[in-house]
Chains A and B, each alone.
Chain A
Amino acid sequence: MTKSVEILESKQSDLDRFVEKARAAAAVVTDVGTFQEAVSYTLNLCGSRGACRLKVSGCEEPLSPNAEDLCETKQGKIIAAPHLSSDQFELLESQCVENGFGCISSGMRSQLAGVDIGFTYGDIGIAETGTLVLNCPGEELRLATMVCEYHVCLLAKSKIVKDAFAAEEQMRQFMNKGPNYTAFITGPSRTADIERVLTIGVHGPLELHILLVEE
């Protein structure tokens, strides 16, 4: 067996493992192939489900007046996609407009009541645990992945590594650049703080969709 074949096979098994482990952590993983397909997937998700309204996200439960006020600032469906290239953002934005969704790349602090979808790229995928690594020094990106009801994260298959230790050097590079904020994200936000019952979406996304793309 030649070395390149070996590498190819171990890459393949890292990919399989990543998918298996991410699903075990309750992420939805789909191999969409291209950016265009990822956009279609996301618009479909936003249109068909409209996150916060259809899930049991507690909108019908009464809140204290202050919390209720914040919630009511959320109007219409919004996809937040900071840190895309301008070409990619334009493509996403134009399709959002066609469908009547808002599409923003900044201003997350005025959307704290929640956006429907946060649309981002992952920098590394860790196969051993199905983890996404997001280098997110900018706060728009951090907030887009936290205050969204669904987080859609695109990941190039080539960025999947065996385990966290294989990502160590890259993390070091992120952190040595000066102020940095790096996130490991594995599945949706969860808690078991009431009666140890696993409950999804306590502070962050209710769902994590990982879309695998070729590059």
Chain B
Amino acid sequence: MQEAKSLKNYRKECRDSLGNDYLRKALDAFAVAYRKSRANAFAEFDVEELIGDVVAMKDDALQQLDALYDQFKEKAEGAGVTVHYAKDAAEANAIISRIAKETDCKKVIKSKSMTAEETLLNHVLEDDGLEVTESDLGEWIIQLRHEGPSHMVMPAIHLSRYQVQDLFSDVTGTRQTDDIEKLVKVARRELRQKFAEADMGISGANFAVAETGTIGIVTNEGNARLVTTLPRVHVALMGIDKLVPTIGDALRILKVLTRNATAQAITSYVTWVTGANECETSPGRKKDIHFVFLDNGRREMAADPLFSQVFRCVRCGACANVCPVYRLVGGHTMGHIYIGAIGLILSYFYHGPDSARNLVQNCINCEACKDICAGGIDLPRLIKAVHARIQDEEGHPIPSLLLGMIMKNRKLFHTLLRTAKWAQKPVAGDDGFMRHLPMIFFKDHDFKALPTVAEKPFRDLWPKLKPAIKNPRYRVGLFSGCVQDFVYPEQMVAAVELFADHDVEMSFPMKQSCCGLPLQMMAEMKTSRDVALQNLRAFEKENVDYIVTLCASCASHLKHNYPELLKDDLKLKDKVAAFTSKVIDMSSFVHDVLQVRAEDFQGDGKKVTFHAPCHLCRGLGVHDAPRNLMKTAGMDYQEAAEAEVCCGFGGTYSAKFPELSRQLLEKKLDNVEATGADILFTDCPGCVMQLRGGMKKRGSTIEVKHTVEGLAERRKKK
């Protein structure tokens, strides 16, 4: 459980987690294996269609939540179950505590419930003098260790067999082996006796089916079947978000849930409990069953137009499985009680701003979670929105405010960038990198060389550069973004040369500014909106077919976030739509629109590889275009392992969490080096900055370039 009081302490926790070699190795192996096995699990289905079904059903269920609850309660109570409603964690715990007293229970056996973790139920019951035993193997292990889960589905993924061996040796009072199969059997036999003795069973629920008053529980171990069968009292604790209208709706979730969670077509057991079942040891042979529904912030979320989509979460845990930051630091650092991307959001609503304040800053915005979410939730956007809420409630940090003030004023911002050229003089090398950094400001940033600001920004080169095109095939507006304008203008120059060859007429509106994504990353939403409006205005008068950008992050931000940022002003709706529909990334433009051919290039057979920027492959869904272009231009393309995993840049993220950024970069560079390529291409100047700086620091001979440079250099000279 992450409980750091300040960002500084939180960063220290992150560093400590990085030092845990076992954790790093385990999560690395898991991340790679998961991607492959998930793809297999969905092989015969249309994943998007399955997720779309869940989204439509859950959104519909939310609209009729009260009616579903009433229907469930009527059905369940008609079949002999008592249904309770708790507005918060304390109330839920009190209800369960009271049931235990009234039914004179002494020993509790539990199956896995994240909701019970959320309310910290065990503490309350133990304070009441009850003996509580978790029966899910992972949960039992972490209970014995007095810690919280580090993954929603695999709570003990952070522990090695040797740690379990020690633990089980303590429990049995005899030295155990480190053989996993044997350790599992020890747990089987130790826990069997706990099942036999328990008078109360507590479970969670994955579904609450309104039409029949049934709960559904998904497990692999089968412990939930024993928990709901042997003890004379059964209590199920679940969030109100578990309500679904019909059995078919529960089955629709099930189909995605297990495939997304553990890449299984289905778990070993799915248990459907309806009404007061037969129980030999209960009075009247009817089990005493209580279903407790929990609000605890869920209704507040449901009422919010942006956050209501969180209700679609089915708790599969996949957002952690693919999160590059989770993979580095694990769930105890990347979560409070709920883990991973969804955990960052839920923590705020369920456990308050203190639990979320630092966590939400640790999102690198790579969109891997959004891409995999079983509920189609826009997780990165919501994480940012939580960050913004906390800043609005508690005040914005000074650097963030300053950045906002500067960026709002394009002229001031650009003047500062120009003066940076003079400020860097004493430390600028002649190779385009800073020779050394004033380390007092950049203590943890020495893992990559940082670039110098260019002698002349692209906007100053443009008037002389602008080619005259006689019979233009297309008219294009160039959006440079700050990095290409002021740091890597040569990438823009390469694009201009390539486009001119294909009769593309270009314009470069001088009033364009930063796309605003860095502001969004700092949760400066208001300024982010101001900047968006400036850019919209800058391109308004341009009569162009496309707005081309060489920066995947800019492209994705312009295309997907502008409509959201500017949606309050209805007058702008058509203008925003016209603008965003024209935005296209360089590779897609050259590949899909210009449709360049092999005869346009003189190939040199250089061995090259590609890093797919997050906002290109996931943000824009572009996968093949850049790879095909390299082949078309006559290069020997080699795919790198994990080519679509984040390089660790993340804009301002790398400045905030340099030690994590560094680890992501090292892994990326290792994978690139393993291809044996001479050149690494990518479609984003931010990634170029990160990757080139890292290669330089390694002393590697691999060149890092923007894809457009590779294409421009191999043009057949006309």
Taking beta carbons and an 8 Å cutoff, which residues of A are in contact with B? 21, 24-25, 56-58, 61-64, 66-67, 69-71, 109, 112-114, 128-131, 137-139, 142-143, 146-147, 164-165, 168, 171-172, 174-176, 178-197, 199, 201-204
Q: Is the CB of B275 within 8 A of A178?
A: yes
Q: Is the CB of B189 within 8 A of A58?
A: yes
Q: A67-B190, A181-B274 are in contact. Are A171 and B220 (CB under 8 A)?
A: no
Q: B566 contacts the other chain (Cβ, under 8 Å)?
A: no
A10 to B627, CA, bound (A): 42
A165 proximity list for chain B (CB < 8 A): 248, 251
A192 to B221, CA, bound (A): 9
B267 proximity list for chain A (CB < 8 A): 186
B186 proximity list for chain A (CB < 8 A): 58, 61, 63
A168 proximity list for chain B (CB < 8 A): 246-248, 251
Select which of A24, A180, A192 is within 8 A of B275 by beta carbon: A180
A168 to B212, CA, bound (A): 12
A136 to B607, CA, bound (A): 63
In residues 365-413 of chain B, which contact A (Cβ within 8 Å)?
none
Q: A64-B171, A179-B80, A183-B270 are in contact. Are A204 and B212 (CB under 8 A)?
A: no
Minimum C-beta distance from B480 to chain A (A): 46
B254 proximity list for chain A (CB < 8 A): 164
Q: Is the CB of B185 within 8 A of A201?
A: yes
A193 proximity list for chain B (CB < 8 A): 136-138, 141, 154-156
Q: A62-B174, A64-B171, A175-B212 are in contact. Are A137 and B265 (CB under 8 A)?
A: no
Minimum C-beta distance from B505 to chain A (A): 55
Q: B79 contacts the other chain (Cβ, under 8 Å)?
A: yes
Q: B628 contacts the other chain (Cβ, under 8 Å)?
A: no
Q: Is the CB of A196 within 8 A of B26?
A: yes
A62 to B174, CA, bound (A): 6
A21 to B190, CA, bound (A): 32
Select which of B189, B209, B277 is within 8 A of A67 by beta carbon: B189
In residues 206-262 of chain B, which contact A (Cβ within 8 Å)?
209, 211-212, 214, 220-223, 225-226, 228-230, 246-248, 251, 254-255, 262
Minimum C-beta distance from A193 to chain B (A): 4
A187 to B221, CA, bound (A): 11
Q: Which one of B279-287, B333-341, B674-682, B709-717 contacts A?
A: B279-287
A194 to B226, CA, bound (A): 21
Q: Is the CB of A63 within 8 A of B189?
A: yes
Q: Is the CB of A190 within 8 A of B247?
A: no
Q: Is the CB of B268 within 8 A of A179?
A: no
Q: Is the CB of A56 within 8 A of B182?
A: yes
Select which of B155, B161, B277 is within 8 A of A180 by beta carbon: B277
Q: B510 contacts the other chain (Cβ, under 8 Å)?
A: no
Minimum C-beta distance from B162 to chain A (A): 10
Q: B577 contacts the other chain (Cβ, under 8 Å)?
A: no
Q: A146-B226, A180-B275, A203-B226 are in contact. Are A194 and B164 (CB under 8 A)?
A: yes
**Total number of residue pairs linking A and B with CB closer than 8 Å:** 218
Q: B187 contacts the other chain (Cβ, under 8 Å)?
A: yes
Q: A129-B265, A194-B183 are in contact. Are A203 and B189 (CB under 8 A)?
A: no
Minimum C-beta distance from B329 to chain A (A): 18
Select which of B26, B226, B247 is within 8 A of A175 by beta carbon: B247
Q: Is the CB of A183 within 8 A of B269?
A: yes
A64 to B272, CA, bound (A): 33
Q: Which one of B191-199, B345-353, B651-659 contacts A?
A: B191-199
Minimum C-beta distance from A52 to chain B (A): 10
A191 proximity list for chain B (CB < 8 A): 137-138, 184, 220-221
Q: Is the CB of A203 within 8 A of B222?
A: yes
B172 proximity list for chain A (CB < 8 A): 62-64, 67
B135 proximity list for chain A (CB < 8 A): 203
A183 to B172, CA, bound (A): 32
Q: Is the CB of A181 within 8 A of B192?
A: no
A63 proximity list for chain B (CB < 8 A): 172, 174, 186, 189-190
Select which of A64, A139, A179, A190 is within 8 A of B274 by beta carbon: A179
In residues 150-190 of chain B, which contact A (Cβ within 8 Å)?
154-157, 159-161, 164, 171-174, 176-177, 180-190
A61 to B221, CA, bound (A): 20
Q: Is the CB of B275 within 8 A of A195?
A: no
Q: Is the CB of A194 within 8 A of B221?
A: no
Q: Is the CB of B191 within 8 A of A181?
A: no
Select which of A128, A129, A186, A194 is within 8 A of B137 by beta carbon: A194
Q: A139-B277, A190-B268, A192-B154 are in contact. Are A199 and B184 (CB under 8 A)?
A: yes
Q: Is the CB of B221 within 8 A of A204?
A: yes
Q: Is the CB of A146 within 8 A of B274?
A: no
Minimum C-beta distance from A210 to chain B (A): 14
B281 proximity list for chain A (CB < 8 A): 109
